[in-house]
Amino acid sequence: MRAMLALVTGATGLIGRRLCKRLERPTVLARNPLRAKEVLGPDVTALAWSDERPVPAGACDGVDVVFHLAGEAVAEKRLDQARRELIKQSRVRGTRAVVDAIAAAKQKPRVLVAASATGYYGDRGDDVLEEGATPGRDFLAEVCAAWEEEAAKAEAHGVRVVSARIGIVLDPAGGALAKMLPPFKLGVAGRLGDGRQWMPWIHAADVVGILLHAASHEAVRGPVNATAPGIVTNAELTRVMARVLRRPAFIPVPRFGLKLAYGDLADSLLASQRAIPAAISRAGYTFQFPELEPALRDLVV
């Protein structure tokens, strides 16, 4: 059986780097192709691209799958109006360019696996959220809905489309876990707000596993929650992290403190999304790390 031929955007990001290690000689689209090869290794073919311009001609020809992971990072800076527009347009415009390239391909990919996020659901309290749940009404929900709408347009060209609604990715190399570790190790961490919000976490290895499973299984189509089955509240995550690191974690961060530090981003940190991986579980994916404590021990011990 021949290897899957893949085209990847966002390849130098947290998930993209792990994904490319699992692929054989992928082609990647990157703002800086030389840096991409430095990060990903010499077996990668790197082409210059950014969301402001068309995908290089022929990039989608003959590949089996396009993994579209590119998008402006949400949690790096405070959300002013200009940054909101940049975050949204990087996803909408970039996905539109990828779909246009798929439409122009002489030999089209079989599947487009595009990133989305559990932010699609907004703040939903204790509601159990499978993939058929309605979208939320906040900014990130609006972004995710528009993102998925653009990806779905590839279906008109005979391409199967999967939108992976990715939860809070745990990886010490970056993202949420990298930000959490220093205060926990110093013993100055605690729950966020009242801690009752559900946090749809997932081990980085399982994100990659889900993306590959979605690409290779024809039955997987449409939105897929890329979250672990053993979802926990923020208070429980705090307790487990403290136990794994053998550090105290009794200094809660009140809502107003988060607002001062992060502005409107605080609403995302406090949002409750009890998103469960119903679709990918029905499609036969077996999680490497379904529960939080073993996942954290694998990542940080």
CA–CA dist 67, 52 (Å, integer): 18
Q: Band the pLDDT of 283: cuts 50, 70, 90.
A: very high
**CATH class given for the domain over 6-169+202-227+274-287:** alpha beta
End-to-end, the C-alpha distance of the chain in Å comes to 37
| pLDDT computed for residue 250 by the predictor | 87
Q: Which of 223, 232, 217, 238 is nearest to 277 (CA)?
A: 223
Whole-structure pTM value: 0.95
Residue 299, token pair as written in the block: 């990542």
Whether the CA torsion 283, 13, 234, 147 is positive or negative: it is negative
- 129 close to 121: Cβ distance less than 8 angstroms: yes
Pure H helices in 105-203? 139-152, 175-186
Tell me which of 50 and 258 has the higher pLDDT: 50
Contacts of 287 (CB under 8 A, 6+ apart): 206, 209, 228, 229, 277
Q: Band the pLDDT of 80: cuts 50, 70, 90.
A: confident
Highest mean pLDDT among 73-82, 113-122, 245-254: 113-122
| pLDDT computed for residue 90 by the predictor | 92
- DSSP secondary structure string for all residues of 32-70: SHHHHHHHH-TT-EEEE--TTSPPPTTTTTT-SEEEE--
Look at the chain and count its residues. 301
CA–CA dist 299, 287 (Å, integer): 15
pLDDT tens track for 121-165: 999 999 999 999 999 999 999 999 999 999 999 999 999 999 999
Residue showing tokens 């000689």: 25
CA–CA dist 201, 275 (Å, integer): 9
Q: Band the pLDDT of 2: cuts 50, 70, 90.
A: low
